[in-house]
Amino acid sequence: MTPRKLHVDEALLPAGVASGVTISIGTDGRIAEVAVDDGAGTERIGGFAIPGMANVHSHAHQRAMAGLAERSGRDADSFWTWRDAMYRFALKMNPEEFQAVATQAYIEMAKAGYTAVGEFHYLHHQPDGRRYGNPAELALRCLAAAEESGLAITLLPALYMQGGFNLPPQPGQRRFINGIDGFLKLVSALPPRPLASYGIAFHSLRAVSIAALREVLAEVDAGPIHLHIAEQTKEVEDCLAAMGRRPVELLLESVALSGRWCLIHATHLTLTETSRLAEAASTVGLCPITEANLGDGIFPADAYRRQGGAFAIGTDSNIETSVAGELRMLEYSQRLRHHARNVLAGGPDRSTGRALYEAAAAGGATALAQPMGAIAPGCRADIVVLDPDHPALLGRHGEAVIDSFVFSGGNAAVRDVFVAGRNIVKDGRHIAEDAACDRFRRALASLAQRDP
Instruction: For the chain, give the percent of residues with pLDDT over 70.
Output: 100
Considering the domain architecture, whether residues 361 and 393 belong to the same structural domain is answered as: no
Total domains present in the chain: 2
CA dihedral for 117, 118, 122, 125, sign (positive or negative): positive
Residues paired with 263 in a beta bridge = 227, 284
Flag whether 439 is in a domain.
no
C-alpha neighbours within 13 Å on the C-beta side of residue 234: 7
| pTM given for the model | 0.97
Q: What is the dihedral of CA 38, 43, 49, 53, to 10 degrees?
A: -150
Flag whether 158 is in a domain.
yes
Q: What number of residues does the chain have?
A: 452
Q: What is the DSSP letter of 309?
A: -
pLDDT higher than threshold 80 for residue 452? no
Flag whether 447 is in a domain.
no
* The pLDDT value given to residue 451: 62
Q: What 3-state DSSP class applies to 310? A: strand
Considering the domain architecture, whether residues 300 and 406 belong to the same structural domain is answered as: no
Return d(Cα 203, Cα 161) in angstroms, integer.
9
Residue 31 burial (CB count, 10 A): 23
Q: If you average pLDDT over every residue of the chain, what do you get?
A: 96
Outline where DSSP puts E strands in 245-371.
Answer: 261-265, 283-286, 310-313
Pick the more confident residue, 8 or 172: 8
Flag whether 140 is in a domain.
yes
Biggest CA–CA distance in the chain, Å, is 67
The model's confidence at residue 130, banded by pLDDT at 50, 70 and 90, is: very high
Residue 443 burial (CB count, 10 A): 21
CATH, residue 384: 2.30.40.10
Flag whether 193 is in a domain.
yes
Where among 368, 384, 417 does a domain terminate?
368
Q: Which of 3-7, 69-73, 433-437 has the lowest mean pLDDT?
A: 69-73
Considering the domain architecture, whether residues 37 and 139 belong to the same structural domain is answered as: no
Considering the domain architecture, whether residues 138 and 237 belong to the same structural domain is answered as: yes
Considering the domain architecture, whether residues 18 and 61 belong to the same structural domain is answered as: no
Mean pLDDT, to the nearest integer, of 93-111?
97
Condensed to tens digits (0 to 9), the pLDDT of residues 368-412 reads 999 999 999 999 999 999 999 999 999 999 999 999 999 999 999
Considering the domain architecture, whether residues 252 and 396 belong to the same structural domain is answered as: no
* The pLDDT value given to residue 73: 82
Flag whether 383 is in a domain.
yes
The secondary structure element, H or E, covering residue 119 is strand 114-121
pLDDT higher than threshold 80 for residue 24? yes
CATH, residue 262: 3.20.20.140
Where among 351, 368, 385 does a domain terminate?
368
Condensed to tens digits (0 to 9), the pLDDT of residues 156-214 reads 999 999 999 999 999 999 999 999 999 999 999 999 999 999 999 999 999 999 999 99
Flag whether 449 is in a domain.
no
Condensed to tens digits (0 to 9), the pLDDT of residues 275-321 reads 999 999 999 999 999 999 999 999 999 999 999 999 999 999 999 99
Considering the domain architecture, whether residues 89 and 149 belong to the same structural domain is answered as: yes
Considering the domain architecture, whether residues 244 and 336 belong to the same structural domain is answered as: yes
Check if the beta carbon of residue 121 is closer than 8 Å to that of residue 156: yes
Considering the domain architecture, whether residues 28 and 175 belong to the same structural domain is answered as: no
Considering the domain architecture, whether residues 339 and 412 belong to the same structural domain is answered as: no
CB contact set of 74 (below 8 Å; sequence gap of 6+):
none
* Enzyme catalytic residues: 265, 316
Mean pLDDT, to the nearest integer, of 87-113?
94
Residues paired with 32 in a beta bridge = none
Domain that holds residue 402: 4-50+374-428
Considering the domain architecture, whether residues 321 and 273 belong to the same structural domain is answered as: yes
Where among 352, 368, 384 does a domain terminate?
368
Considering the domain architecture, whether residues 76 and 26 belong to the same structural domain is answered as: no
pLDDT higher than threshold 90 for residue 89? no
Residues paired with 429 in a beta bridge = 426
Flag whether 435 is in a domain.
no
